[in-house]
Chain A
């Protein structure tokens, strides 16, 4: 039951840029051998750019609101073009667009990172459990994974969100993770299956080490690189999906963010305003920049966990 399907599930996943090779005994010590993960990332040209962009978004999200004035309603200056006072112009209520972006960042960061944490966490647990514990439990977990894997995520997310209708970051993150974990669980399982038969795991078994030790000390370090890359791609997926849900107006607008901006930019007759372009493009540009940053960051992750890929 583990032949064709597994190979496909593995090669078809998103992390094709740097999928982890099942490694021998050396692989497990890589984390401690690192002088500093940041240093390794910094040495890779792409990862450096990605790191800077990602860090900039964190600064914008958590420091920005402390230094940039909160946008206020100013009906005398709606849809104002960019100026010194309003670098990106103003929205349909005369609020500063740059301020809208900055004040919407923290919520997006919270939701996307929580969603990635939940999705990746469930994926690792299900993947390792179904790969390590063969038999009934493993088969059951894989059957569930197979089913969830074939459900188109966005549609199910939309429907669940339409019933839940909450903008609480944890709830939204949970909704976004409804199907996101399955692809990763399958990939981890394939990794575990191939690691299980490798020499160092057999030795660990012969030494009568506990399952706990084998899973956390021997197997986990070998799927760390893959996990980190999946985490980054999950943040990216949750970014598109969460902003999309707000854009469609599925989630309540009680939490202000880029998706609410997009939704408002396209309603309220704003399409007729002459200076809409900057107001409309700002949130799209921010999402795109963040995504590029995340993708570039992922280029360097493999080098952090796997010294042999370093240059």
Chain B
């Protein structure tokens, strides 16, 4: 719904659980909106169709779940190199391999650290509610166009399939740059080329420095996070997506018991809100990071906190019956207070 409100009319995907709600919804909606829906022959073909559509300047997207995203990484690397905007939704499942279809956060490294070849970043956003999923999907398309980059929404089976109230609203008005790079046929003007091959002396190095500058700019301007009861907290709980949602309930329970606990939840995973961690850890002494894996985001947390701050980790790699309860997390919080 967020994608359609954001003006996306081109969806290309492939069936995989637990993201099938998205292609099923899009196959229903696109014909009535004069859009295009293709169930592609493979994840690889789907993302390459996104590439082709995006090159003409339209808003295009795909969605998948973890093993499918692995297949798409080739084209995601190409699009990062080509500087093509698009949206990729990963309603991630557990792994490695075929793994399972439970909620998991095992794809943090893949999403945030590049995943594909060549040393690139894409913007990664991790919503923790349906409303945020809707809002951030619209924001994702804007960011993609402003920075000319693929953007990933990283969710899991919890945020991808739960039902909760949503207040739809019009797409926010954002000033967007002209698409002077989009392919439309020369129309008698200058030739436009969308490519990622740079063989001339120094060309590729210059291109990589340009990409690097873009990533730095994203880091400076576009990181987002949620803070809850952090101002007087001795211990700050962190986590992203569904893990942070469960953790927030545990933090509320801890507050009811009079414990000085807060929550800092990164909403963007790349750019990582390092500055926010640096600020809160000037007064709090401990961070407890909770993830549905054996420790991935915690590496970025450790790099972001002020000196002499202890970073603890509690994780459950996913599988059936592995989702932690708020009570379980409250027990973890109390270990340190």
Partners in one complex: no
Q: Which residues of A contact B (CB under 8 A)?
A: none
Residues of B within 8 A of A (CB): none
